[in-house]
Structure 1
C-alpha cells in the first residue's frame, strides 16, 4: 500500500506524530527499528521521514475493525481507610504473579485473601469508578489535601475480560447503540444489588502500582513504560501490532478521525489485528468522549520498508 491511498494522509500533523514516536522508539531493539529511530532523532522533515522509511501495511485477521476510546480517570480517595473511603486499590500479590489464572474478581473481593497484608495503595469512595479504573488501567487519585497520586497497571489475575456492557445488551436491558460507560455506571448505581452482581460478570481483576513520579503535565504510563499522548497514542493487540509502531487510523462514525498514531499501550479487551483503543486524555471530559466511541474503519501499520517488503508474496515484488 502507498501513502496516497491513506485517506487524509496529507492533512495530518506529522510533526505531532513524530514527537510521539520519539517518546518510545528508543526502546525498540530490532535492527530495522533502531535504524529508523536514529534518523528520527536528527530532526527530519516529519512527513518525509515517515514516507521515506516506512510503508503502510494492512494486517487483517478476518475480523471487522473496531475503534474504542480510553482515558485516565480521576477518583476521590485517601491513603487511609475511612467511612467514606473504603474501597481499596490493590498492589499485585505474589500469588497472582506466580499463578495464572488466579482467583476471580468475586473470590478476591468477597474473600479475605487480601486482608491485613498492606497491599492497599489507596482507598476510594466509589466501587463503580474503581471498576472502570481497572478497565482503563491507570488513573489519578485526588486526595483530601488537594494532592494527587497516580496509579498504573501492574498486572491482572489471568481471567479473560468480559464486557458488562455486552452483558446488559444480552439481557435486553439496552440496545447496543445505547450502551456507554456513563449509561452502565448509572444503571449499576440505580440497581445496587443487581449492579454488584453485574460487576462480578467480569472475572478479570486488575492490580496497580504507584507511578506518581510521572509529571502531572504528561500522560499516564502505557505498556512501554512511557507516557501516552492524548489523541496520538493507541492501545493495540501486540500479537498483531508491534508496540512502538506508527499506525494510520481511519476511524469512521459520527466524528471521523484520520490520523497517524503510535501503538504504545495494550489492554485486556483489545484483541485482534484491526482493534485499537484511542487515548483521549485525563479527566471527566476525556472520559465522556472516550466512553461514547465505538466506531468502524480500518488501520494500517507503518512498518520499516525492508520489513514491509519482506511480507509481500514473491509475485508482488
Structure 2
C-alpha cells in the first residue's frame, strides 16, 4: 500500500530540518513494493546496521537498536519495526560508487617514494580559502616542517586519494598505514573530467577515473597542469583507531562495509538508517544498505554513493557506476506513520 505524505510534516519525522521544501513528495510503501526484497541477505544488512545504530541518539532508534542485538530473524525485524519511505524532490535519481584507494608508499622519502602525503599546516586551519593546489605544490611552503605523513610513488594516485578523502598506503614491509581526511585548503573542487570534455579531448560518455589517469600519465607536463586545474587540496591524518584490515571510517566515525554502506545527503536520509536501493543499469543492484557516510557531491533525496571496497579493482568498479533507480529510507514504523494525516492513521 502506498500512502502519499504532506511535505509539511516530513522534517519533524526525519529530524532533518533542511529537508523542508514545497517540491518534496513522500510515499510510505509496504515491503511487497520493493523489487527483490525477499531475495536479499537481510542478516548481512543487519550486521552493518548494528555497527552504527548505537550512535543514533533518538529514543525510538535506540530502542530498535537494542532489539536488533538479540534478533533471530533479520528479515522479520525490518518488516515488523520499519516502513520504507520514498522521498523525492523532482531531481533525477543518480547512484554512483566510491572506494578506498590503496597506494604504494613509505614512511621515509626515497628515489621511488618522493610525493608527500601532507598533514594540514597550522595556518590553513580555519583560514577559509588558503593557497591553491598549484601554490601548495610549487611554493615550497610545506617543506621542512615535518608535515609529511608518508611518501608515495604516484602523483596521479595521490590526486585521486585526495578526491576520495581517505585511503590505505601499502608500506615496503607489507604493513599498511591508513589515512583519513584532515582538512582542506578551502577551495571549491573543480572536476578535471569536465575540463577534459571542455577542451575537446574526450566526450562525456568516455570519461572515467581510469581514462583520466591514463591521459595524465601519457601527457606528464599537460597532465600536471590539468591536475592543478582543480585548486582544492586535501590534507590527511593518520587513522590509528581502526585496523587497516577493516573498512575506512565513514561520516559516523565507524568503518564502512563494501556493498552495504552508502553515502547519502543527511538533509533527507538520517545517518545510520537502513536504505533499500534499487539501482538499474548494466549490473542492477537490489539490496538493503545502511546510510553511514556523506559526500560533498551527494545532494538530494534520490542520490547515493555506494562503497565498493579498497584497492584498484574496487576503484574500477566504482568508477564505472552512474545509474538511475530509486532508494527508500526505512524509518521506524511509528515515525513513518506519524507522517500521515490524522485521517489516514
TM interval, shorter chain, is: over 0.9
Give the superposition deviation at 1:306.
2.4
Contact 1:161 1:268 in 2 (8 A): no
Q: Secondary structure at the match of 1:109?
A: helix
Alignment correspondent of 1:294: 322
* Secondary structure in structure 2 of the residue aligned to 1:81: coil
Q: Which runs of 5+ in 1 are unaligned?
A: none
Q: Distance in 2 between matches of 1:69 and 1:172?
A: 26
Pair 1:58–1:158, CA change in 2 (3 A): farther
TM norm structure 2: 0.86
1 CA distance for matches of 2:72 and 2:32?
A: 20
| 1:202 corresponds to | 230
Provide the alpha-carbon RMSD of the alignment: 1.8
For residues 80 and 8 of structure 1, do their structure 2 counterparts lie closer, same or farther at Cα, with a shift above 3 Å needed? same
| Counterpart contact for 1:160–1:268, Cα < 8 Å | no
Cα distance, 1:189 vs structure 2: 1.0
The 5-angstrom pairing of residues 114-133 of structure 1 reads 114-133=142-161
Once the two structures are overlaid, the 10-residue window that deviates more, 65-74 or 156-165, is: 156-165
Query: Corresponding residue for 2:92?
Result: 64
For residues 109-154 of structure 1, give each alpha carbon's deviation from its aligned partner in whole angstroms, at most 9, with x where no partner exists. Answer: 2323322221111011111000111122221111122221111222
- Correspondent of 1:254 among 276, 279, 282: 282
SS at match of 1:183: helix
Which position in structure 2 is the counterpart of 1:11? 39
- 2:182 is the alignment partner of 1:159: no
Following the alignment from structure 2 to structure 1, what is the Cα–Cα distance between the partners of residues 290 and 145?
39
For residue 53 of structure 2, what is the aligned residue in structure 1?
25
Partner Cα distance (2:227, 2:168) in 1: 22
Which residue among 245, 255, 271 is the counterpart of 2:299? Answer: 271
CA–CA separation in structure 2 for the residues paired with 1:129 and 1:87: 10
Higher gyration radius (CA): 2
Cα distance in 1 between the residues matched to 2:244 and 2:84:
34
**TM-score between both structures, scaled by the size of structure 1:** 0.94
Q: Is 1:49 aligned with 2:83?
A: no
**Please, which of 281, 285, 290 is the counterpart of residue 309 of structure 2?**
281
- The answer to whether structure 1 residue 99 and structure 2 residue 99 are counterparts is no
- Distance across 2 between alignment mates of 1:28 and 1:101: 33
